[in-house]
């Protein structure tokens, strides 16, 4: 499941980052961007590349929260029921007694 989750987070974020990269850098010239009031002293290629990864990271953060919120609170937190009292099919039924 972990690999699947990682793919769910990174892959849609990658697709969105491609789109963002095209739209953002078509509308804004990296040479015109300021960073805390100072012009960015980097080549356009650097800014395009760093920008792509920034978009990817932002998209991944959003996907991560989506994945996280999709899980029920019982999956994320400590289950109030003892391990033996958990319903049939519960992923934590057979789990270690601590969680």
Partner 1 sequence: MTHAAGEPRPEAAPAASGAPLKVVAAGAGDEVDRGLFEVRKKIYPRAVHGWFARLRWSAVWFTQVLFYGLPWITWNDRQAVLFDLAARKFYIFGAVLWPQDFIYLTLLLVTAAVSLFLFTAVAGRLWCGYACPQTVYTEIFLWIERMIEGDRGARTKLDAGPLTARKFGLKAAKHAVWAAAAFWTGFTFVGYFTPIKVLGGEFLSLSLGPWETFWVCFYGFATYGNAGWMREQVCKYMCPYARFQGAMFDQDTLIIAYDRERGEPRGSRGRKADPKALGLGSCVDCDICVQVCPTGIDIRAGLQYECIGCAACIDGCDQVMEKMGYPKGLIRYSTEHAMQEHSGLQGIVRRVVRPRTMIYAGLLATVVTALVTALYLRVPLKVDVIRDRGALVREVEDGELENVYRLQVMNATESAHRYRIAVEGLPGLRVASQPVVEMAAASTRAFPLRIRLPGAEAKGGSQRIVITVTAEDGDHLQVREKAVFISPRKDEN
Residues 6+ apart with CB under 8 A from 9: 60, 63, 64, 67
55, 21 contact by CB (below 8 A): yes
Find the part of the chain contacting partner 1 (CB under 8 A) among 42-50, 55-63, 64-72, 75-83.
42-50
Q: Which of 33, 44, 57, 81 binds partner 1 (CB under 8 A)?
A: 44
Asked if 77 interacts with partner 1 (CB under 8 A), we say no
Closest CA to 29 of 18, 19, 16, 39: 39
Q: Which of 33, 35, 39, 49 binds partner 1 (CB under 8 A)?
A: 49
Of 29 and 75, the one with the shorter C-beta distance to partner 1 is 29
The DSSP code sequence of 31-64 is: GG-EETTEE--S-HHHHHHHHHHHHHHHHHHHHH
Angstrom distance (rounded) from CA 48 to CA 30: 8
Of 27 and 80, the one with the shorter C-beta distance to partner 1 is 27
Of 49 and 77, the one with the shorter C-beta distance to partner 1 is 49
Residues that bind partner 1 (CB under 8 A): 1, 3-4, 7, 11, 15, 22, 25-27, 29, 43-46, 48-49
């Amino acid at each position: 499941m972990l690999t699947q989750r990682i793919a769910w987070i990174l892959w849609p974020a990658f697709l969105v980052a491609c789109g963002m990269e095209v739209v953002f850098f078509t509308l804004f010239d990296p040479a015109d961007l300021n960073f805390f009031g100072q012009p960015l002293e980097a080549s356009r290629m650097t800014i395009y590349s760093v920008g792509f990864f920034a978009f990817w990271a932002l998209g991944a953060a959003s996907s991560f929260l989506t994945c996280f919120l999709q899980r029920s609170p019982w999956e994320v937190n400590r289950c109030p029921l003892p391990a033996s009292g958990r319903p049939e099919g519960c992923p934590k039924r057979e789990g270690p007694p601590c969680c």
